[in-house]
Amino acid sequence: MVKAMNEAFVRPKSLVKTVTKYCGGCGHGVIHRIITELIDEFGIREKTIITNPVGCAIWADQYFDFDSVQPPHGRTPAAATGIKRFLPDHVVICYQGDGDMAAIGTAEMIHAANRGEKFTTIFVNNAIYGMTGGQMAPTTLVGQKATTAPHGRDPIEAGMGYPIKVAELLSFLEGTRYAARGAVSNAAYIRKTKSFIKKALEAQLHGIGFTMVEILSQCPTNWGLSPVQSVEWLEQSMIPVFPLGEIKNTLPEDNL
């Protein structure tokens, strides 16, 4: 118990000590902590490369003390494909938001998964375009308000479509070996999300691809809520639409 408490209060070596650029109550910082804890636990800091594109993910490299590449908006899986094929002994992580992965980069995402590219995608789903001003995203909920949907997302009368369930979408592709969805709104969800990411990274270390973990994350600023209210809204409104858990797992348990 003492060891666990000490570890909880120690900054991971892979996490840079700096002032955050993220808004108060944002979930990105928690996700960074999870990723860096696992990188330290696996001892792979010198072999890890993260690709973080335009969006709130653009700042991620400022907090990770290992190599990073910033691809153009939506081209993250294409860049990660080249990096992983050229450096197959490295651990390559795509760190993407919903606008980047589920809209601008849909083609790259789907084809990388379908090819079974051997990297891991961390997909941060906060149901909104965060960096650019709160526009409706592919994952915005029906009825949820955004700057481009001031009366709420209307899938029928306004022709705005429905929220895209990325983990489920990718699970239908044979190249996807592991797809899960977690959240960072409370301690129990954080622990479970860490276990999902650990399993995805373990698969990559064993040369098994494509793996991805979708993470439901708070965005108080663009939701127009306080940090506490955003946690409540995520759990009451987002989780029923985007259920948590392993969506697809075809990993060989005896090899991990």
Q: 12 lies in a domain?
A: no
R_g over Cα of the chain: 17
**pTM to 2 decimal places:** 0.94
The pair of structure tokens assigned to 128 is 């909104």
Q: Which residues pair with 69 in a beta bridge?
A: 51
Residue 115 contacts residue 77 (beta carbons within 8 Å): no
Confidence of residue 99 (pLDDT cuts 50, 70, 90): confident
Q: 99 lies in a domain?
A: yes
Q: Which residues pair with 93 in a beta bridge?
A: 50, 120
Give the pLDDT score at 132. 82
Q: 35 lies in a domain?
A: yes
Q: 168 lies in a domain?
A: yes
Given a cut of 80, whether residue 77 has pLDDT beyond it is yes
CATH classification at residue 66: 3.40.50.970
Confidence of residue 4 (pLDDT cuts 50, 70, 90): low
Give the pLDDT score at 133. 84
Confidence of residue 60 (pLDDT cuts 50, 70, 90): confident
Nearest to 182 by CA among 174, 172, 192, 171: 192
Q: 249 lies in a domain?
A: yes
Q: Mind listing the pLDDT tens digit for each residue in 21-43?
A: 899 999 999 999 999 999 999 99
When divided into structural domains, the chain yields a total of: 1
The pair of structure tokens assigned to 253 is 């348990």
Helix axes 187-205, 28-42, angle to 10 degrees: 40
Given a cut of 60, whether residue 17 has pLDDT beyond it is yes
**Highest mean pLDDT, choosing among 133-137, 232-236, 250-254:** 232-236
Give the pLDDT score at 7. 60
**Structural domain of 99:** 23-255
Give the pLDDT score at 216. 98
Residue appearing with tokens 């375009």: 129
Give the pLDDT score at 6. 56
Summary mean pLDDT of the chain: 93
Q: 7 lies in a domain?
A: no
Q: 174 lies in a domain?
A: yes
Q: 244 lies in a domain?
A: yes
Confidence of residue 247 (pLDDT cuts 50, 70, 90): very high
